Amino acid sequence: MSPVAVVTGAGRGQGATEAAMLRSRGWDVVTTDVDGEVDVIADVCDAGAWASLVETVLERHGGLDGLVNNAAVHHIRPLLEEQTDDVERLFRINTLGPLMGIQAVVPAMKGGGGGSIVNVSSAAGARGFPGHTAYGATKWALRGISRTAAVELGPLGIRVNAVLPGPIDTPMLPVPEDQRGRRFGHLPLGRAGTPSEVAEVVCFLLSDAASYVTGAEIAVDGGLAA
């Protein structure tokens, strides 16, 4: 029987790549987003939507083994220009959404003997960047959720890890071909990353190959953290 995973924010970009790679490796994947070609249209900030999503997964597949909290929104704005409504929106989607997702899937994972959760944080959740007050704060908070969840859920056989992507060439951060070298020349690897390079790490953390890995944070950032 194939393992089953939910991937949020899978309508495009990084989430879509993660879902496709999981499927190519034998996973049954249920994708969700607020729009796009996904299995279930759902808002990660809606507890009712999460409950319905998990119910759908269990009805279709009989179990739930993995969750990738990938959905996120982003804006760049100076600290003194941040607007309360916009900051709250980022926290609801980037931080509250993953927390609600974890709460929603744990009963199903516990009933199945365990599982693996991967929270997609960001390099902006590990250091300061100009214009990233709101976005960075949401991703710092997600790291805290990940670590605490790893401690609390470990006894249930549920692993929780975080991935911290750096600049990745997705619709959230489109990088014109002629700017990639100049814009990211400060990185040790000298380029933006690709969604598949993040997906490889996500797939590893979900898999049994990472069976003794929990509470970890893996930077996929071209050496930015160094």
Active site residues: 135
Tell me the C-alpha to C-alpha distance, in Å, between residue 89 and each of 44, 69, 73, 125, 151: 12, 16, 8, 17, 28
**HSE-up of 124 (CA within 13 Å, CB side)?**
19
d(CA 56, CA 53): 5
Measuring CA to CA, which residue among 168, 163, 161 is closest to residue 184?
A: 168
Structure token digits, residue 40 = 């279930």
d(CA 177, CA 105): 40
d(CA 59, CA 76): 40
